[in-house]
Structure 1
Amino acid sequence: MSVAGPGPHGTAFSGRLGWGARPAVVVVDLCRAYTEPGGPFALPDPGPAVEAAGALVDAARAGGHPVVWTAVRYARGLADGGLFVRKVPALAAFAEDAPGEWGELTLEPGPGEPVVVKQYASAFFGTTLAPTLTGLGVDTVVVAGVSTSGCVRATAMDALNSGFRPQVVRQACADRSPALHENNLADLDAKYADVVDLAEALPHLQRPG
């Protein structure tokens, strides 16, 4: 279900991209920094998004569709962090010499499921994600993870830019406030992706590819 109708601009926005023949689930940065109390990006209520992301992953595995994970990693001293780590200092938690294990993924990748390491918001920027998906024959990217206004949004936009059909699952994403979550879903649905409910996404993934 779309989160945004045509609105005051009529049919100028919110066209439907639809589902292709070969979806893949991309779980964006779902790690302890967001889902554990005391984490540098701790969310107010991560449980529902974690559960929904897990349901997407299970459905994709059952249907034989790819699952790809992303994780943020920086070298010691943040030498590869560029200006992003200056703008968001808490990203230092993902440096290899940082204390704690905040970058550890909340859900466990399965055997053979790629973990794409990134340094910036989009899972496509400067990574192997696009050629990995292309090599797997993927045409539809089902996006889950955190945060809706940041890395999920950037990844969905670059999925569209890279020629994939982005489907952002509203229950499988989360942000630091409900308003940020809902406002960014509405704007993504208007211009860059189809925002869909978990109940719509699961049958597409459970169907064998």
Structure 2
Amino acid sequence: MTETRWDDEIATIRRLRAERTKVGHGERPAVVIVDFQKAFVAHEKSGPSAAAALSNTAVLLDAARAAGVPVIYLVMILDSLEDRMLAQRVRSSLTERCERGNPWTEISDVVAVQPGDHVVEKTVATGFYKTRLHDLLTELNIDEVVVVGTSTSGCVRATVMDAAYRNYRVSVVEECVDDFRTVSGEVSLWDMQDRFGDVRSLEHMLGHFAALGRRREMAAPA
């Protein structure tokens, strides 16, 4: 039996991800921040990658707001722990810290909500299940969701899938997502690029927002 060399496997999927055809951007993006709450970025298994994703996201949000791109926060808020899906009630889960009023549910100060931003509560991994997210995106006339947050293989991937099912263009910013399950995160980035949307670099997205901001300034009435 041949032994799997995981470093080689990761290198292969990164190459495939870079080569995969891109869907492309829309004209009316919104940034959707998935679960950058203390429960998910400051827990016992959090490491330097979580801090880096938060810091990178703060840079992205400055660029988005400067370009007039809406910012939407998804937060896991439970009125009761019994509201969780069965698997999370059976197994130990960080969602145990997500009851309404628990300080763990607060959004990280690194990416704090600003005036004009939107906050959408959810109870499961995806931001679309029994929430107002789709209605909000429709009201804002959004055609592209730029997804950041945690975890890459969990709530980020679930939200990306549901956005793709609703025919939004999807861009996942690689440096702005995090997963303490390193291999799961890498595989999920490849899976999302392969099936549901585009995985983009922070540098690319900053350039995209800057260009969008310039176009909007030129189109604005004098």
TM range (shorter): 0.7 to 0.9
Partner in structure 2 of residue 188 of structure 1:
192
Among 86, 89, 114, the residue aligned to 2:89: 86
Aligned-pair CA distance for 1:4: 4.8
In structure 1, distance between residues paired with 2:120 and 2:107: 12
In structure 1, distance between residues paired with 2:208 and 2:133: 21
Aligned-partner SS, 2:147: strand
TM-score (structure 1 length as normaliser): 0.87
Among 99, 106, 131, the residue aligned to 1:95: 99
Partner in structure 2 of residue 20 of structure 1:
26
Deviations 1:60-117 (A, max 9, x none): 10000100001001113x232242532553211101265xx11110121111211100
Partner in structure 2 of residue 175 of structure 1:
179
Deviations 1:19-59 (A, max 9, x none): 010111000000111222xx26x422211100111111111
Partner in structure 1 of residue 16 of structure 2:
5
Matched to 2:16, the amino acid is G
In structure 2, distance between residues paired with 1:53 and 1:6: 21
In structure 1, distance between residues paired with 2:54 and 2:17: 30
Partner in structure 2 of residue 150 of structure 1:
154
Identity of aligned residues (%): 34
Unaligned runs of at least 5 residues, structure 2? 1-12, 217-222
Whose helix fraction is larger, Structure 1's or Structure 2's? 2
Matched to 1:135, the amino acid is E
Once structures 1 and 2 are overlaid, which stretch shifts more, 124-133 or 145-154?
Answer: 124-133
Once structures 1 and 2 are overlaid, which stretch shifts more, 126-135 or 174-183?
Answer: 174-183
In structure 2, distance between residues paired with 1:97 and 1:82: 20
Aligned-pair CA distance for 1:123: 0.7
Once structures 1 and 2 are overlaid, which stretch shifts more, 178-187 or 137-146?
Answer: 178-187
Whether contact under 8 Å (1:4, 1:189) holds in the other structure is no
Q: Which has the larger radius of gyration?
A: 2
Unaligned runs of at least 5 residues, structure 1? none
In structure 1, distance between residues paired with 2:125 and 2:82: 17
Partner in structure 1 of residue 164 of structure 2:
160
Matched to 1:115, the amino acid is V
TM-score (structure 2 length as normaliser): 0.82
Partner in structure 2 of residue 29 of structure 1:
35
Aligned residues: 197
1:104 aligns with 2:106: yes
Partner in structure 2 of residue 118 of structure 1:
122
Aligned-pair CA distance for 1:177: 2.9
In structure 1, distance between residues paired with 2:101 and 2:145: 33
In structure 1, distance between residues paired with 2:28 and 2:73: 17
In structure 2, distance between residues paired with 1:64 and 1:3: 32
Aligned-partner SS, 1:169: strand
Matched to 1:16, the amino acid is K
In structure 1, distance between residues paired with 2:57 and 2:90: 28
